[in-house]
Structure 1
């Protein structure tokens, strides 16, 4: 083929001349001028595109059909084919390698010339629909040989997978009061979440309650709870099970934070008997234990939507003094504009305060008496009058139909209080009921003054999960953003000047 891109008949004529020249050294037909540079090109051996010479022998096998492209390679190159008279690409085979990896049967060898001009376009259009190669290229592009700009399907699938389910709690703050980052892998980039924390004295049942609210049922073995409860050995020696802050998140995107006991005597005893070195800013062990409890409480008041305060008897005035002190020392955090009204009705637009729930665990049957219940609500309301914590208006035992005979207006000063009875098996209650002297009532359960423990836990869970999810800061936080926000708050609590000054006054 001439380099100027002449028509197809000229190409066939040159092919005939070349066969005669190689066979019998005929200088060509008369009237044909082969002198000059053109003559030199004609009598030089034909070279392949990769630099090798044609093998000797007849070239009758090089029919025009071999010069045509395979069916899968026709449409797209024909659209970009150069116009007549334009330069021919030196290595068009590279385009075929990019699309087909040179592995399909029928791929022409590298030495095969690429036709151009009207004749080649006609061959390409024979038996070929224009849209077929396009679909083939798209299908090949979705395979393993896709370009780097294509999206990895594994990445798209990972975004659609459900979040990893936790089987047990992990540390958010360890026993040395250091922040842990292991909870980050369980968090997602979504904003619909609820953060629930818990506070309480030693042995009140905080871990058990958090396990029942999060992932377990009363019928399960306590050794399999997500928050490990006290073992019998720890109970006998008066120790504590939880240290620092434990983290657990459910599939419903509810974050539960279990904490070590407030003002724990076992932690104090461990510090004294094991001669643990105190931080330099604390001189006495009991001061260090109290400041640890205040730091945890102030932290929960800042990063939680709901804080549960657990008591196993009514009531300890030191608990309310402790809550008020932690409220005073909590970090200053801005509140959202639509969430500026405090529990007492005053406008405190500069601070965020969580909802607080007073949970009476291991309640006796007399505690469920309507008269005693009303007195308990009145006492808590008086003790929390000057607090900005949201201690009323978001949880009600009367609405749970626990007291069917009481009207909705019976508790005029109803606070966020809930009573849980002592956990016992149904077999124990039937045994106690059948131990009387009347065989007629031996199969009936004894009167307890309240529904079963499982029913009470279910009603409490419904009330807690239905609590308002107020905005924790001036910006809407995702789960991962909440984690980073909580880490900054914890660091600020440990370095708080107000807590340091309060610790100095305790000495």
Structure 2
């Protein structure tokens, strides 16, 4: 049978409510955006021979019609105009970067956000061009739309950009979307062996496969491609040692139109994606449908009954496999059994996308209902029929010969609430921060916030306090998932800049997918807020507006005094103390962000706010002991070289200022991988010579650095380069702290270098901070440590919703406290 008779229809194009198509893209035009070229050679799986072109297949359709192609030489698909459009899309998509155990940085679901990428992946000209390279095996894009133009991103790090693996889809085209002329590392490598033999070698050599076994793949430069049968080749991308811009590749995935090829798609690879269940179901349905269509219109003689049964069995096996895979990955849902017979509800047909062929459905009587019912037949091997609508979920059995006790109405409602809560929470992701306390320091009854809260424990609350323009909002945005290279408008918490008067007012909140609650506060003792207070207290400030402002902020201490009898500085200090006391009362971790140097006045306010924290009572006689949050000192925007002695002095001063508090300032961040310091002695020497420091200071600095490096027990023994050493300043040899002799290595102090991440020159991706790792690495490790930090117990906050109620109560106690009113009188 000719290959042209195989099912060539494309899998349907899907939409998802969590993703919106970007409106600012030009329409895809293959006449403008494509300029395909041919590779100079093709490598075959048979002996890995280099040939001009893959041989054509001349086999029956029902046999294995896979291509003999292993990989190709470099070639081009996009024109220069098309490449420029792709680069703009990638710049926009960088806000969606993720990380997991396999990829340090990657982006998925671009195929749901970009119409241009959808058309590029499904373009008939691209499919025809790639099909010719395979030896005329017709290709279509994979049904997993979340992997349309999957984006891999490589930064300078010790981790491989991609580890050894075989792809979960048959064919991939890898497009290099960056300039790697100045990049060291980031090489695409493969092993020219069968997958089983390749992974045996990887295991035998413990990942360090000899170079004579590895085949490196070269690109022609930016906008060049490599096409390969990734499911049949073990390959990886090595780590990047240095680069002038991140290594970015775009991976398009394809499969054969032959539904009888060996299935290599692995659902487990995609199961964490919100779209994976339906995409996998559509993939298996596409194969089953193509297998049946081949029997009907594939050019065969009229099939016998046995042939029809065999082909039906083949299609049923595809769908059964799909159902079993999806069911295994899902948590069990409680089923309410009823002995009452109910009519079988037939699921209404789902309208097909405009790009797919309509599927004829037999007409049937579909009763109108406002509930979702699952009719479970007596035969347990038959999957239940699920009908979804807008109402609550009701699960019933059509018939039952066993009398089972019915659940009470209360238990039934609890089941429904639990299921609906899981369905809602699984699809809700915050797009930006929301107001928790507004600019008048009034609690916001934000009903939208409840949509993102879950009735689950295991969450962590992180708040940040600090002066104006020290980087609180930027740091929290990075902890929430943003990247340094994101534009200001894409940041979770809008950041202030040197040429902007925009600052945070009140307290903003953001909830991440990792159940982390981030609180961004207005700057403490801000000069801009100070100026606003002066305008409000001036004679030119309208009296009616003062009354309106007072009514919007009904704090008890404001009602007990005349605002004109108190200095503006004192009013601002009281508002600052309220915010600090609130953050200390509701957060597991408090980040004190400073601009390189510790501010003693800030720590005086911290201790004073701790004294004024509201006292909670379980009853009239039992007082709830205030919890003690972790305090992490963030020394941000550091510049030049900070010697170990200078770091020690800074930590010692922090400890002295916090000596009389009960906060957790030690050992909070040593539970996971330690934040390490990269010291480049060569650059330090050059820097010191440029500053014309004397020779004695230079020798002393080198001796100090060498001494710390020799005491580090965690250095890589294989790194003998004396000009690039890795120093670990944490001392884990002492498990317990001695009260008489403090180990300052355990102080929760993080030094983050100054980084102008809007700069576009060649040093954009290199840290200018000679004493430490680059800012990207430090923030990434800090985020990992905060997610794994020990959570101090906050009374009555077992769930996120309970925490919000508790936080509202705390703020109410602060604003109505007579203790604050007494303290305000001392300032008049």
Per the normalisation by structure 1, the TM-score is 0.62
Q: Which residue of the other structure, out of 800, 803, 822, is the alignment partner of 1:482?
A: 803
Superposed displacement of residue 446, structure 1: 6.7
Distance of aligned partners of 1:373 and 1:431 in 2 relative to their CA distance in 1, 3 Å threshold: same
For 1:155, the equivalent position in structure 2 comes to: 392
- Does residue 364 (structure 1) correspond to residue 632 (structure 2)? The answer is no
What's the CA shift string for 1:353-403, capped at 9, x where partnerless? 111111000012323x22211221111111111101111120259922326
Label 1:487 to 1:446 Cα distance change in 2 as closer, same or farther (>3 A): closer
- Report the CA distance shift for 1:148/1:454 in structure 2 as closer, same or farther (over 3 A): closer
Deviation at 1:323, TM superposition (A): 0.6
CA distance in 2, matches of 1:398, 1:371: 23
Query: Superposed, which structure 2 residues align to 1:78-477 within 5 Å?
Result: 137-140=341-344, 144=367, 154-156=391-393, 158-161=420-423, 162-182=426-446, 183-231=449-497, 233-234=499-500, 239-274=501-536, 275=541, 277=546, 279-282=558-561, 283=563, 284=566, 285-333=568-616, 350-367=625-642, 369-396=643-670, 399-402=674-677, 404-406=726-728, 408-409=730-731, 412-413=743-744, 414-425=746-757, 430=762, 448-473=770-795, 475-477=796-798
Distance change (3 Å), C-alpha of 1:138 and 1:481: same
CA change 1:169–1:432 in 2 (3 A) is closer
CA distance in 1 between partners of 2:673 and 2:342 (Å): 65
Residue of structure 1 equivalent to 2:193: none
> For residues 267-305 of structure 1, what are the alpha-carbon distances to aligned partners after superposition, in whole Å with 9 as ceiling and x for unaligned?
121121243625433523322211111111101111110
Give how far 1:147 is off: 10
Worse-matched range after superposition: 222-231 or 171-180:
222-231
SS of structure 1 residue aligned to 2:342: helix
SS of alignment partner, residue 190 of structure 1? coil
Counterpart contact for 2:755–2:768, Cα < 8 Å: no
Query: What is the RMSD of the two structures over their aligned residues, measured on CA atoms?
Result: 3.3
Equivalent of 2:816 in 495, 498, 503: 495
1:318/1:185 Cα in 2 relative to 1: closer, same or farther (>3 Å)? same
SS in 2 for 1:353: coil
Gaps of 5+ in 2: 1-337, 347-365, 375-387, 394-418, 551-557, 679-725, 733-741
Structure 1 residues 27-106: aligned runs within 5 Å: none
**Residues in 2 aligned to 1:393 and 1:478: alpha-carbon distance in whole angstroms:** 26
SS in 2 for 1:139: coil
Question: Do 2:677 and 2:729's aligned partners in 1 also have CA atoms closer than 8 Å?
Answer: no
Q: Distance in 2 between matches of 1:427 and 1:260?
A: 27
Q: Given that residues 394 and 467 in structure 1 are in contact (C-alpha distance below 8 angstroms), is that contact kept between their aligned partners in structure 2?
A: yes
Q: Determine if contact 2:640/2:769 at 8 Å carries over to the other structure.
A: no
Distance in 2 separating the partners of 1:217 and 1:242: 20
Q: Post-superposition shift, 1:196? A: 0.6
Higher helix proportion: 1
Give the match's secondary structure for 1:366: coil
Larger radius of gyration: 1
Quote the offset at 1:331 in angstroms: 1.3
TM-score, length basis structure 2: 0.39
Please name the residue that 2:253 is paired with. Answer: none
Q: 1:330 to 1:449 in 2, by over 3 A?
A: same
8 Å Cα contact 1:210/1:258 also seen in 2: yes
Aligned equivalents of 2:439 and 2:780: distance in 1?
32
Shift in Å, 1:227: 0.3
- Contact preservation (8 Å) 1:313, 1:363: yes
Alignment partners' CA distance in 2, 1:334 and 1:415 = 32
Q: How far is the alpha carbon of 1:263 from its aligned partner?
A: 1.2
**CA-CA distance at 1:321 after TM superposition:** 0.4
Work out the CA distance in 2 between the residues paired with 1:457 and 1:147. Answer: 49
Q: Specify every segment of 5 or more residues in structure 1 that has no aligned partner in the other structure, as ranges.
A: 1-133, 336-347, 434-443
Does the Cα contact within 8 Å between 1:430 and 1:446 map onto a contact in 2?
no
Counterpart CA distance in 1 for 2:761 and 2:372 is 68
Q: Structure 1: how far apart are the matches of 2:370 and 2:624?
A: 55
Deviation at 1:307, TM superposition (A): 0.6
Q: Taking structure 1 as reference, are residues 137 and 379 closer, same or farther at Cα in structure 2, changes over 3 Å only? A: same
User: In structure 2, the residue corresponding to 1:138 is in which secondary structure?
Assistant: coil
Q: Give the drift of 1:210.
A: 0.8
Moved more, 320-329 or 160-169: 160-169
Distance 1:293 1:451 in 2: 34
For 2:644 and 2:450, locate their aligned partners in 1 and report how far apart those are by CA, in whole Å: 45
Counterpart contact for 1:222–1:229, Cα < 8 Å: yes
Whether contact under 8 Å (1:163, 1:251) holds in the other structure is: no
- Give, in whole Å, the separation in 2 of the partners of 1:445 and 1:159: 45
Change (3 A) 1:352 1:269: same
Q: How many residues align?
A: 346
For the residue of structure 1 that corresponds to 2:463, the secondary structure is strand
